[in-house]
Amino acid sequence: MTVQVVSPVRIAVVVPAFNEARLIARTLQAIPAYVSHVVVVDDASSDATAEAARAVRDQRVEVVRHPENRGVGAAIVTGYQAAFARGADVCAVMAGDGQMDPADLRKLVAPVITGQASYAKGDRLSFPDARRAMPLTRWLGNVVLGKLTALAAGVKIRDSQCGYTALSRSAADALPLDKLWNRYGYPNDLLGMLAERKLVVSEVVVRPIYADEESGIKLWHALFVVPFVLLRVLSRRLLYTLRWRMLARTERRTLRHVETAPVHMVAPEFE
């Protein structure tokens, strides 16, 4: 008789946190029990974010602190590295300001666990009555940036700016995460990297939560920073396509050369 041992999928959650002492405990306490590991990345907060996270006294929670503020993108990469090094199969990201509904986590990680997608991304814009659940400027900005990101990266995506995501270990291994855009704009850069490598991205409808948190996003991020990242994504994509075309042409030429070259059918020792 053969005994098959099936090990459970290990789901980790990365929580980027910058000055979230007020909301971090509430965020961590709501993380579902099936999550095996939680990495809080305190990005040199000037408040007691790290202490508040440790005070939750949850054995799953590990707090990593950047000595200097490096940005939310860099914090997430630090979190991915720690989570995958601890053996996670799938790593989700939940912000430290309680804006992600833990009830949505299960359906977010599902396509990654089943192998249907390498990356799953929350889509708040398709949530019923999203327009009213989100502040008008956020909703409008997200609609526009979603469309621009879909064009620049060549990926079918609606809510490019949603930070509620899940990434597979194999996709993390395939991506140059050390080159990811460090600050706001990182989700657009990441989508570009995934699309370039033809890794499947799926969107999952999640509930938008806007309550008593404070946003670090400013208008100039939407007007200048994200568009700059999108130009970067687009130029990388064009370069990548060009390189492949040139490679394919060189290969075709080599093949033609081989086909037209005289073929020696007689082995040298019989000549």
Query: Can you give the binding site for ligand GTP, defined by CB under 6 A?
Result: 16-18, 20, 41, 43, 69, 71-72, 75, 95-97, 99, 138, 163, 215-217
Distance CA 77, CA 16 (A): 10
Shortest Cβ 24–Mg ion spacing (Å): 13
Distance CA 167, CA 182 (A): 17
> Which tokens in the block code for residue 257?
């050369």
Looking only at the bridges linking them, the beta strands covering 37-42 and 90-93 are unpaired
Shortest Cβ 86–Mg ion spacing (Å): 26
Concatenating the DSSP letter of every residue in 90-104 gives EEEE--TTS-S-GGG
**Cβ neighbours of residue 193 under 8 Å, at least 6 residues apart?**
175, 176, 180
Shortest Cβ 98–ligand GTP spacing (Å): 9
18 vs 119 by CB, closer to ligand GTP: 18
- CA-wise closest residue to 100 among 77, 121, 129, 75: 121
209 vs 234 by CB, closer to ligand GTP: 209
Shortest Cβ 243–ligand GTP spacing (Å): 33
95 vs 172 by CB, closer to ligand GTP: 95
Angle between the 186-196 and 226-260 helix axes, to the nearest 10 degrees? 10
Size of the site for Mg ion (CB under 5 A): 3
Residue 69 binds which of Mg ion, ligand GTP, none (CB < 5-8 A, kind-dependent): ligand GTP
189: contact with Mg ion by CB under 5 A: no
Shortest Cβ 241–Mg ion spacing (Å): 35
Shortest Cβ 66–ligand GTP spacing (Å): 7
The H or E element spanning position 121 is strand 119-123
Distance CA 88, CA 113 (A): 11
Shortest Cβ 96–Mg ion spacing (Å): 9
Residue 191 binds which of Mg ion, ligand GTP, none (CB < 5-8 A, kind-dependent): none
Residue 142 binds which of Mg ion, ligand GTP, none (CB < 5-8 A, kind-dependent): none
Residue 170 binds which of Mg ion, ligand GTP, none (CB < 5-8 A, kind-dependent): none
Helical H segments across the chain, by residue range: 24-29, 49-54, 72-85, 105-113, 130-133, 136-153, 169-174, 186-196, 219-220, 226-260
Site for Mg ion in 201-230 (CB under 5 A): 215
> Which tokens in the block code for residue 42?
């305190």
Write down the residue that tokens 């890794």 correspond to: 199
Site for Mg ion in 78-117 (CB under 5 A): 97, 99
Residues within the interface to Mg ion (CB under 5 A): 97, 99, 215
